[in-house]
């Protein structure tokens, strides 16, 4: 069978790294708040909710693509992965690519877009979830982004109904638990909002993943950022805590704050010390995840509290490096040469990084924080 290429549906701009192989279903466009200083994703777009008819039409389009790929599989001894791979090699459009990738990975996970789908009325969300599962009975996990304040406005009973209908996990950008920092960054929530919204989700049975931005406190508030964020997370007890390291590019309002001298960034070593303080103060059972390329110590992953000592030991291993070794590792990570601290044991990689450092020194006279930030932000 030849792919028709006639089906398509709307896909939003972002999803968590853990949802890289999920079917993407867009129920809202952009972010209803859209004022955070450190975010650039939706700044030029207004928020819109999509109609139930349009959402169902998109699910129907995904089903049509799904059925076309299953038809191809009939000619490959019913090998779905092989059929999906055929489509992935030359997809007619982004929708075919998304469905083929989803099917290649098993066709079990769905991510609801965009930034805060929980803002929709519960009855409408329930209808969307039911329609999804009726079209794709093999779905095992459905996740979405949400805001703490929105979750705080939903009753536990509403969230429980969504869980029963198939909503498995919510991803929330906590960012910080320190009120003065949340206000400065114009996050639009308080620490108390975070706690109430997070507890509502946890009590409903929905898995909760909270995101923290390392470095968000800058020079002025790094310590309070770490301690208060740990306090808030300890009260919530999310199943997952995922960390991201602050990156600043011209499209962010925070960029101008830096240019005006109102926000002073901290460097890699200072961020690692902040992260150590955060982990040391966490008093809940959770999975600590560092699955983003912006994080210096991406190997910092484990279950807390049982593996806290091991995670702190990884941090201390970095902090005990000489200044020369720290620079080598930072540049190696920011250029993608190193995956973690153990990569430094590879003499060829270490030599390659040292050669790169020599070129930077030749061109710039020194290797400073600005160079490292530029390297890190080239990934964004």
**238-264 pLDDT, tens digit each:** 999 999 999 999 999 999 999 999 999
Q: What percent of the chain has pLDDT over 70?
A: 99
Reply yes or no on whether the pLDDT at 379 is more than 80: no
Distance from C-alpha of 202 to C-alpha of 209, rounded to nearest angstrom? 10
**8-58 pLDDT, tens digit each:** 999 999 999 899 999 999 999 999 999 999 999 988 889 999 999 999 999
pLDDT the model gives residue 37: 97
Reply yes or no on whether the pLDDT at 80 is more than 90: yes
pLDDT the model gives residue 44: 84
Tell the residue number behind the tokens 């030991």, with chain if given.
Answer: 313
pLDDT the model gives residue 365: 87
pLDDT the model gives residue 364: 85
Higher-pLDDT residue of 2 and 174 is 174
Mean pLDDT across the chain, nearest whole number?
Answer: 96
Reply yes or no on whether the pLDDT at 380 is more than 80: no
Question: Is residue 338 within 8 Å of 353, Cβ to Cβ?
Answer: yes
Burial of 323 (0-12, 13-18, 19+ CB in 10 A): exposed
Q: What Cα–Cα distance (Å) separates residue 301 from each residue in 131, 236, 317? A: 36, 19, 15
340-353: average pLDDT:
97
**205-245 pLDDT, tens digit each:** 999 999 999 999 999 999 999 999 999 999 999 999 999 99
328-333: average pLDDT:
96
Instruction: Average the pLDDT over each of 10-14, 263-267, 366-370 and give the range with the smallest value.
Output: 366-370
pLDDT the model gives residue 1: 62
Tell the residue number behind the tokens 């079990």, with chain if given.
Answer: 108
Distance from C-alpha of 264 to C-alpha of 361, rounded to nearest angstrom? 24
Confidence bin at 362 (pLDDT 50/70/90): confident
Q: What percent of the chain has pLDDT over 90?
A: 93
Reply yes or no on whether the pLDDT at 270 is more than 90: yes
**Per-residue 3-state assignment (H helix, E strand, C coil) for 250-278:** CCCHHHHHHHCCCCCCCCHHHHHHHHHHH
59-68: average pLDDT:
97
Strands of the sheet with 23-26, listed across from one edge:
23-26, 109-113, 141-146, 167-175, 207-214, 240-245, 286-289, 302-304
Distance from C-alpha of 19 to C-alpha of 28, rounded to nearest angstrom? 17
pLDDT the model gives residue 3: 86
Instruction: Average the pLDDT over each of 191-195, 280-284, 362-366 and give the range with the smallest value.
Output: 362-366
- Please provide residue 339's backbone torsions phi and psi, each rounded to the nearest 5 degrees: -95, -30
pLDDT the model gives residue 372: 93
**132-162 pLDDT, tens digit each:** 999 999 999 999 999 999 999 999 999 999 9
Which residue, among 24, 146, 275, has the nearest Cα to 266 in the 3D structure? Answer: 275
Question: Is residue 288 within 8 Å of 295, Cβ to Cβ?
Answer: no
**88-134 pLDDT, tens digit each:** 999 999 999 999 999 999 999 999 999 999 999 999 999 999 999 99
């Amino acid at each position: 069978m030849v792919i028709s290429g006639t089906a398509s549906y709307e896909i939003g701009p972002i999803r968590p790294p853990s949802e890289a192989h999920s079917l993407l279903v867009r129920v809202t466009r952009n972010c209803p708040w859209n004022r955070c200083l450190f975010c650039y994703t939706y700044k030029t777009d207004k928020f819109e909710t999509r109609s139930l008819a349009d959402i169902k039409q998109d699910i129907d389009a995904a089903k049509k693509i799904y059925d076309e790929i299953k038809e191809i599989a009939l000619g490959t001894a019913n090998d779905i992965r092989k059929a999906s791979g055929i489509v992935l090699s030359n997809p007619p459009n982004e929708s075919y690519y998304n469905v083929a990738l989803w099917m290649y990975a098993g066709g079990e996970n769905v991510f609801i877009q965009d930034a805060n789908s929980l803002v929709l009325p519960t009855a409408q969300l329930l209808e969307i979830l039911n329609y999804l599962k009726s079209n794709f009975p093999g779905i095992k996990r459905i996740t979405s982004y949400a805001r703490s304040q929105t979750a705080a406005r939903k009753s536990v009973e509403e969230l429980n109904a969504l869980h029963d209908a198939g909503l498995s996990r919510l991803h929330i950008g906590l960012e910080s638990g320190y009120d003065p920092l949340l206000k400065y960054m114009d996050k639009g929530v308080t620490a108390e909002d975070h706690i109430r919204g997070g507890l509502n989700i946890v009590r409903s049975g929905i898995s909760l993943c909270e995101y923290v931005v390392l470095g968000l406190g800058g020079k002025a508030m790094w310590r309070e950022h770490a301690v208060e964020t740990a306090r808030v997370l300890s009260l919530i007890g999310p199943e997952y805590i995922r960390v991201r390291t602050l990156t600043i590019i011209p499209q962010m309002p925070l960029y101008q704050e830096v240019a005006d001298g109102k926000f002073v960034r901290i460097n890699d070593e200072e961020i690692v010390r902040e992260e150590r303080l955060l982990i040391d103060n966490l008093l809940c059972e959770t999975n600590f995840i560092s699955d983003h390329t912006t994080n210096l110590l991406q190997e910092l992953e484990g279950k807390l509290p049982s593996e806290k000592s091991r995670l702190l030991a990884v941090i201390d291993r970095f902090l005990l490096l000489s200044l020369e070794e720290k620079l080598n590792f930072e540049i190696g990570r920011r250029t993608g040469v190193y995956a973690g601290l153990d990569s430094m044991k590879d003499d060829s990689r270490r030599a390659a990084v040292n050669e790169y450092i020599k070129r930077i020194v030749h061109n710039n006279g020194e290797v400073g924080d600005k160079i490292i930030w530029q390297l890190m932000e080239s990934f964004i």
